[in-house]
Amino acid sequence: MQVTQTHIPGVLLVEPKVFGDNRGYFMELWSSQRYAQHGVPASFVQDNLSRSARGVLRGLHLQHPYAQGKLVYVAAGEIFDVVVDVRRGSPSFGRWYGVTLSEENKRQLYIPPGCAHGFCVTSEAATFIYKCTEAYHPETELTVRYDDPDIGIPWPVQSPTVSAKDAAGKLLRDIEPERLPSFAG
């Protein structure tokens, strides 16, 4: 597999080896030993799956405390996946990284604890799967506005479908600093 460090510390683009022939293909989705060698932690505690239609935008979400690291991928369809560094003291605070994840390219993205995460569906529908390093704690969840002008993400959908919670997210500059995680270096 090939692992590329992005411009946000700890955010890794993973391109697993895919073995294919006329019958289809095989790929390893997760191996604690192999992924740990590339900086992806070996302790995931929860797997989640979501199915969304074209134009649905989910995010930007994080938990603090109980920050979740996530390994994300798409089983069917295509999404534009985004990570925003909201860790106080990080050299890339407020910067974002986006990548297309799809059934076709089979890429995965590792998002370290303390970063906000979101995605939008660019195909007719998408099945999105992610592993988490921490259980879901709704009382600690934060939502950063997906359309925060200071972050400036050029989402590839017009008039996205968002939840009431996501529409009510806060601008990053309006979140009290103590509510944000710290960068561990």
pLDDT tens for each residue of 30-72:
999 999 999 898 789 999 999 999 999 999 999 999 999 999 9
Question: Mean pLDDT across the stretch 129-142?
Answer: 96
Beta strands in 1-123 (DSSP E): 2-5, 12-15, 18-21, 24-27, 46-53, 57-63, 70-76, 78-85, 96-102, 108-111, 115-121
Cα dihedral 101→103→106→110 (10° resolution): 40
Cα–Cα distance, 145 to 164 (Å, whole number): 11
Is the predicted pLDDT of residue 185 greater than 90, yes or no?
A: no
Provide, rounded to the nearest whole percent, the portion of the chain with pLDDT above 70: 100
Residue 38 a catalytic site member: no
Out of 35, 97, 110, 130, the active site residue is: 130
Out of 61, 64, 117, 146, the active site residue is: 61
Question: Mean pLDDT across the stretch 88-117?
Answer: 97
Residue pair 78/100 in contact by the 8 Å Cβ criterion? yes
The residues near 46 (Cβ < 8 Å, ≥ 6 apart) are: 131, 132, 134, 135, 136
Cα–Cα distance, 57 to 111 (Å, whole number): 18
Residue 61 a catalytic site member: yes
pTM above 0.85, yes or no: yes
Question: Mean pLDDT across the stretch 3-17?
Answer: 96
What is the CATH number that goes with domain 43-175?
A: 2.60.120.10
Question: Mean pLDDT across the stretch 75-85?
Answer: 98
What is the CB neighbour count within 10 angstroms for residue 57? 25
